[in-house]
Homo-oligomer: A and B are copies of this chain.
Amino acid sequence: MNTHNELRSLTTRESIVLLSSAQVGRVVFTDEALPAIRPVNFVVDGASVVIRTGREGSLSKLNGNVVAFEADHIDLATRSGWSVIVHGRAERVRDIDQLVTLADPAKSSWVPLRDYFLRIPFEMVTGRRLALPHVTSEATG
């Protein structure tokens, strides 16, 4: 087969649909002047990503910092997939009503004893797909 996969940009809407289909992503930030990354499970809540972390870890220091959040899905067999990146200023969730909703057990952290909620609003959303030229989002998302 001579056809090669092509890398193309996704629309914001396509990107958010794909992001919402994922359960695990990665927070990207700067930690003591070094690039840092932490895989986390997450939920999309309104126009933001919400993660649940511990009070002591490096993610809990991000309140007010601009971070990136990435999720992807890669198929090794076909060498195809997508990646979506959100940039936004991470903020600790302090609103009681929001916390009650977010504390839904279905949205629980995969690691026990994590009660610090961090919200990353969709300030910038970008996405890319690597696929055969004729493949659309609907067919593989």
Contacts and interface: CB of A to CB of B under 8 A. Distances in A.
Which size class do A's interface residues fall under?
Answer: 20 to 34
B37 A28 contact: yes
Taken together, the copies of this chain in the complex come to 2
Contacts of A85: 36-37
Q: Is the interface of A mostly helix, strand, loop or mixed?
A: strand
Contacts of A66: 34-35
A29 interface: yes
A111 to B, nearest CB: 5
A76 B41 CA distance: 10
Contacts of A102: none
Interface stretch (A10-18, A44-52, A67-75, A91-99): A67-75
A64 interface: no
A37 B35 CA distance: 10
B112 A34 contact: no
User: Of residues A23, A35, A112, A130, which shows the largest number of chain B Cβ atoms within 10 Å of its Cβ?
Assistant: A35
Lowest 10 CB-CB distances: which A-B pairs, in order? A35-B68, A28-B35, A79-B110, A37-B70, A28-B37, A4-B112, A39-B83, A24-B74, A39-B72, A7-B111
Interface of A: 4-5, 7, 23-24, 26, 28-30, 34-39, 41, 66-68, 70, 72, 74, 76, 79, 81, 83, 85, 87, 110-112, 130
